A and B are shown apart, each in its own frame.
Chain A
Amino acid sequence: MFKLDRKLILSASVFTAAALFVAGCAAGGLGFSKSNSMNAQPSIDGGVFYPAANGKTGPYLLDSKAAGMKINNGRIPTANELKAWDTDVMPDGTGLPEGHGTASDGSDIYDSKCVSCHGDFGSGGGGYPSLSKGNAYTLKDSLLSQRSEEGADGPVRVFGTYWPQASTLWWYIKDAMPHQATGTLTEDEVYALTAYILKLNEIKIDGVLVDDDYDLDREKFLKIVLPNRDGFEPKIDGPKALPGVRAYYANPTNFGGIKVKPSERCMKNCQAPTVKKVYVTNGGIKDFVPPMATAKDLPKVESKGFDAEKSYAENCAACHATKSMGAPMVGDAKGWASTMKKGLAAVYKNGIDGINGMPAKGGTSMSDAEFKSVVDYMINASK
């Protein structure tokens, strides 16, 4: 088992190492620094692979003793535990249970559990995604639309026009919908909702249009081919997928990357004289929560939330609940009457500034108003 891991880990390194010789590119020239990865190699994502070599990976030291140790933590899951969590549904039907439901049933469930977010007939709303904009086969052509000009219609990216696999929909509804109460739908309900969404997108299964009476089951489900099935790159299916992904990201033109030698990067006259400056129009989006602010000041305090009794107990009771400290004891009417002869204003002031053994505001960080409300509480509790 251990050897197998090693071999696989090694073979992965070989893939990346092989790619190295195609496009190895170290920085230099014009003062740009060489990175601390002297053995930089391309990786599956088109970036650099930092090997673990000489006790380091990139700039980080590695614990060579820990590497390769067998730790043997944990335990083997039970069959029921696996079944409880392994609920994913794959395009080939792995994980898809038996069951069935009609689009008409799905419409009823939709109206009670989904419409509040996804809108009438899946039209969307409140920031939640639309589920359909009409006939998916026709609207798929909109994926060629670019809103480069003001007022142009953009691409329609809803389930029917854009998603490559129907399994994604079934799995997502079952595990993650309805959004505020996930995992509460039965398998038949998920089939019914799936049928309804297929119907809204006017999808055909094996040449048959999904209509209200269409009873979707597992067998029919696995025959769904969505219009945009081939709309994605790089290809990720089949046993030879990874070399294809590596090749895709080894070519920057596939994803808009720009590679230049540091010495050949543009440093002057880089722009056509015709370039324009595009500004944020009408102030742009600024409904920020909380609103944008950079002042270094104190937040506005809601003083009505202040609990004088609680604050007394936490900050004042240690001295004022007992006579021995020399402070006027709360509940001692005579003692407070004597204190109050100075007048309320003086009592407040002495407390705020501190007097005798009493620190200012009792050593608290209360505001003056809060402190006064605590004094009021103590006076009232001593009458």
Chain B
Amino acid sequence: MKNNDSLSNEKKLDRRDFFRKTAALSATALAGTSIFAADDDAIMKMPEWATKWGDPVTTNMYGVPSAYEHNVTRRGTELLSSGNFRASIAVTPIHESKGIITPNGLFFSRSHGGTAHIDPEEYRLMIHGLVEKPIVLTLAELKRYPSVTRIHFIECPANGGQEWRATQFNSVQFAKGFMASAEWTGVYIKTILEDLGIKPDAQWMLAEGGDSSKMGRTVPMDKVLDDAMIVWGQNGEALRPEQGYPVRLLLPGWEGNLCVKWLRRLEFGAEPWYCKEETSKYTALKPSGKAIQHFYANEVNSTVTSPSPEIPWTDLKDGAVIEIEGLAWSGMGTITGVDFSLDGGNTYVQAELKGLVLPKSWTRWSYMHTYKKGEKLYLTSRASDDAGYIQPTIDQETAVMGVESVYHRNAVETWEVTENGEVNHVQIRS
């Protein structure tokens, strides 16, 4: 049945053709045996796992990945770290991920004072300020609100931000892995506000964490009354400590740092707070000398995830039909399409979207390629969203933003495939 995969690429294959071809291929496979290849030990020798007891079902009552997957981990680097990896980031191995959900243990982790470990029995959420009735909620009380479940990515706005001037990472994990995606469960803040009543002059909401950094951000009421959520569930279980256990804010599509972890306080006010992480950092300096503050949504973006510098095509055979795959995402809406280029962005064709296409969510795209051994390629993807945006070229983006803004870099990226099938991160610039 393996042959079905290669056939499925041929468009307009009618049923009769399909069965005829399948039958022909299967017949060959049954009758034919290779007299040239050596026997494969993986088939010829009986492995231990086929003859001896496996683990009792009571082993690992909370399951862990196969030991063989030990290299699939988050990774950090000193460059992005202050203080022994406390004010730092560990990024997601997106070269290994498929689909649009990141396992909780691989979800990128950024904190400003280390990962806090909060006792859920002592967890409290305080909501006050310009509300008719301030309240304190326990975790159990918070979870009694009617819940909603949504699939959204969270992205650090510094994703790709080390590469405004030039490429620095020959790695898709570090060039684009400051993000991850999950199915989140929580309550819309507007649902809670039905009880509390908002005073008319409230324009802003302060969200503050209970960790040692007291991470704070100011959120405009538009977002609060739209899709802002207080979440406690991540992919069907409680949030991991690295994601703010027991409770974090989720502002779909917006900068990861706005989705305050270990959330303990929401205050409504008439004026913005000027928190440290919305002044000193997370502001984007432009060539005019002015910096964008309150830069909310992560703009439309995409990347090739396969092949990658990490998992290249060095073992690919001449004539192999190979799926080039990637991610597209937009914090401003829903992905409407992805264009794909084999020449670094001079000529584009339309790639296929696949799987679920959801607002403010990772979206998978794919392009089937017949590989010619020794060919040199420059793989570039370019996504568009339903807000009408398309990814800029590097030149288009730097023309407006310069090279010092650190955050919100969403220009197209390119992976070079060398004659040997190695994959390198390159940038196409004027």
Select one of B208, B275, B292, B388 contacting A259, CB under 8 A.
Answer: B388
Partner of A360, one of B52, B310, B387, B397: B52
Chain A contacts of B368 at CB under 8 A? Answer: none
Asked if B200 lies at the interface with its beta carbon under 8 angstroms from chain A, I say yes
- Choose among A179, A252, A292 the residue that contacts B83 (Cβ–Cβ < 8 A): A179
Contact assessment for B348 and A266 in the assembled complex, using a CB-CB cutoff below 8 Å: yes
The stretch among A151-159, A185-193, A303-311, A329-337 that forms the contact with chain B is A151-159
Per-position 1/0 for B289-323, Cβ under 8 A of A: 11111111101000000000011000000000000
Q: How far is the CA of A145 from the CA of B416 in the complex (A)?
A: 32
What residues of B have a CB within 8 angstroms of the CB of A292 in the complex? 75, 171, 173, 310
Smallest CB-CB separation from A40: which chain B residue? B386
Q: Is A207 an interface residue (CB 8 A)?
A: no
Q: Min CB distance, B289 to chain A, in Å?
A: 4
Mark B75-116 against chain A: 1 for CB-CB distance below 8 A, else 0.
111110111011100000001100000000000000011000
> What would 13 more interface pairs be, CB under 8 Å, given A2-B197, A74-B138?
A16-B226, A50-B227, A62-B148, A74-B137, A86-B128, A91-B274, A128-B83, A147-B165, A159-B280, A182-B214, A255-B299, A270-B347, A292-B75
Name the residue on A nearest B49 (C-beta): A365
Chain B hits for A285, CB < 8 A: 77, 79, 162, 168-169, 174
Which of A117, A258, A279, A290 has the largest count of B CB atoms less than 10 A from its CB?
A258
> Which one of B71, B168, B195, B414 lies within 8 Å of A284 (CB-CB)?
B168
Can you name the residue of chain B whose Cβ is closest to the Cβ of A26? Answer: B386
Interface size bracket, A side = 35 or more
- Which residues of the other chain, B, contact A354 by a CB distance below 8 angstroms? 52
With both chains docked as a complex, state the minimum distance between the C-beta of B344 and any C-beta of chain A, in angstroms: 7
- Closest chain-A Cβ to B287's Cβ sits at a distance in Å of 6
Residues from chain B with a CB closer than 8 A to the CB of A278 are: 166-167, 426-429
Q: Of A28-36, A197-205, A213-221, which binds chain B?
A: A28-36
- Docked-complex contact B227 and A255, CB < 8 angstroms: no
- On whether the beta carbons of B267 and A259 are closer than 8 Å, the reply is no
Q: Does A357 contact B (CB under 8 A)?
A: no
Q: Does A208 contact B (CB under 8 A)?
A: no
B162: nearest residue on chain A (CB-CB)? A285
Report B-chain residues with C-beta under 8 Å of the C-beta of A159.
280
Identify the A interface with B (CB < 8 A).
1-2, 4-5, 8-9, 12-13, 15-16, 23, 25-27, 30-37, 40, 42-50, 57-60, 62-63, 66-77, 81-82, 85-86, 88, 90-92, 117, 126-129, 143-148, 154-155, 157, 159, 162-165, 167-168, 171-172, 175-176, 179-180, 182-183, 231-234, 236-239, 241-242, 245-246, 249, 252-262, 265-272, 274-281, 283-290, 292-299, 354, 359-361, 363, 365
Q: Which of the residues B148, B165, B273, B408 comes within 8 Å of A255, measured between beta carbons? A: B408
Q: Please report the C-alpha to C-alpha distance between residue A239 and residue B130 in the assembled complex, in whole angstroms.
A: 14
Contact B384 A27 (CB under 8 A): yes
A42→B270 CA distance, assembly (Å):
23
- Alpha-carbon distance between A74 and B330 when the two chains are bound, in angstroms: 36
The answer to whether B267 touches A86 (Cβ under 8 A) is yes
Pick 7 A–B contacts, CB within 8 A, sort by A.
A2-B194, A4-B200, A48-B385, A58-B359, A70-B195, A164-B274, A363-B56
Report the separation of the CA atoms of residues A37 and B345 in the bound assembly, to the nearest whole angstrom.
Answer: 29
Residues from chain B with Cβ under 8 Å of A26 in the complex: 386
Q: How far is the CA of A271 from the CA of B10 in the complex (A)?
A: 32
Q: Tell me if A232 and B337 are in contact (CB < 8 A).
A: no
**How many Å lie between the Cα of A179 and that of B426 in the bound state?**
38
Number of B interface residues in the complex (CB < 8 A): 157
Knowing A162-B280, A262-B336, A292-B171 touch, does A75 contact B136 (C-beta < 8 A)? Answer: yes
B241 within 8 A of A: no
B381 within 8 A of A: no
Contact among A179, A239, A360 with B270 in the assembled complex (CB-CB below 8 Å): A239
- Nearest CB in chain B: distance from A11 CB, A: 9
Pick from A33, A256, A361: contact of B401, CB below 8 A: A256
When the two chains form their complex, are residues A34 and B336 in contact, meaning their CB atoms are under 8 A apart? Answer: yes
In the bound complex, residues from chain A placing their C-beta under 8 Å from that of B402 are: 146, 148
Q: How far is the CA of A183 from the CA of B214 in the complex (A)?
A: 10
Do residues A267 and B267 form an inter-chain contact, with CB atoms below 8 A? no
User: In the bound complex, what is the Cα–Cα distance between A9 and B264 (angstroms)?
Assistant: 24
**Contacting residues, chain B, for A176 (C-beta < 8 A):** 112-113, 212-214, 276
Q: B23-31, B33-41, B62-70, B230-238: which lies at the A interface?
A: B62-70
CB-based nearest A residue for B53: A363
Q: Which residues of A contact B169 (CB under 8 A)?
A: 280, 284-286
Q: Mark B148-186, 1 if CB is under 8 A from A, else 0.
A: 101000000000001001111111011000000000000
What residue in chain B is nearest A62 (Cβ atoms)?
B148
Decide: A233 and B293 in contact? CB cutoff 8 A: yes
Question: Cβ of B136 and Cβ of A90 under 8 Å apart?
Answer: no
**B residues within 8 A CB of A145?**
404
* Residue from the list A8, A127, A163, A167 in contact with B198, Cβ < 8 A: A8
> Which chain B residue shows the least CB distance to A267?
B348
B421 contacts chain A at the CB level, 8 A cutoff: no
Judge whether B390 is part of the interface by a CB distance below 8 angstroms.
yes
Which residue from chain A places its CB closest to the CB of B388 in the assembled complex? Answer: A25
User: In the assembly, what is the distance between CA of A162 and CA of B397, in Å?
Assistant: 23
| CB–CB B333/A47 < 8 A | yes
List CB contacts (< 8 Å) of B9-59 with chain A.
Answer: 51-53, 55-56
Chain A residue numbers with a CB within 8 Å of B397 are: 256
- B residues less than 8 Å from A274 (CB atoms): 430
Residues on the A chain within 8 Å of B390, using CB: 258-260, 265
* Contact, CB under 8 Å: A76 / B294: no
B279:A168 contact, CB within 8 angstroms: yes
Minimum CB distance partner of A271 in chain B: B346
Known A45-B297, A47-B332, A298-B70: A30·B167 in contact at CB below 8 Å: no
Does the CB pair B170–A284 fall under 8 Å?
Answer: yes
**Counting chain A CB atoms within 10 Å of each CB, which of B135, B198, B311, B404 scores highest?**
B404
Collect the chain B residues with CB atoms within 8 Å of residue A143's CB.
285, 289, 291
Are B132 and A46 in touch, CB under 8 angstroms? no
A359 touches B52 (CB 8 A): yes
Contact A295/B428 with A47-B331, A233-B292 known, Cβ cut-off 8 Å: no
**Contact assessment for B350 and A31 in the assembled complex, using a CB-CB cutoff below 8 Å:** yes
Q: How far is the CB of B270 from chain A (nearest CB, A)?
A: 7
Contacts of B404 in A (CB 8 A): 145-147, 154-155
- B222 at interface by CB-CB < 8 Å: yes
Question: Which single member of B69, B83, B272 contacts A241 (CB below 8 Å)?
Answer: B272
In the bound complex, what is the Cα–Cα distance between A285 and B138 (angstroms)?
A: 44
Say whether A296 contacts B71, CB under 8 Å. Answer: yes
| Given known A-B contacts A5-B194, A182-B213, A289-B76, A127 and B69 have beta carbons under 8 A apart | no
Cα distance A180–B84 in the bound complex, in angstroms: 11
Task: Find the residue from A49, A81, A284 having the highest chain B CB count within 10 A.
Answer: A284
| Residues of A with C-beta under 8 A to B136 | 74-77, 81
CB distance from B44 to the nearest CB of A (A): 20
Q: How far is the CA of A148 from the CA of B404 in the complex (A)?
A: 9
Would you call A43 and B276 a contact (CB within 8 A)? Answer: no
Minimum Cβ distance to chain A for residue B39 (Å): 22
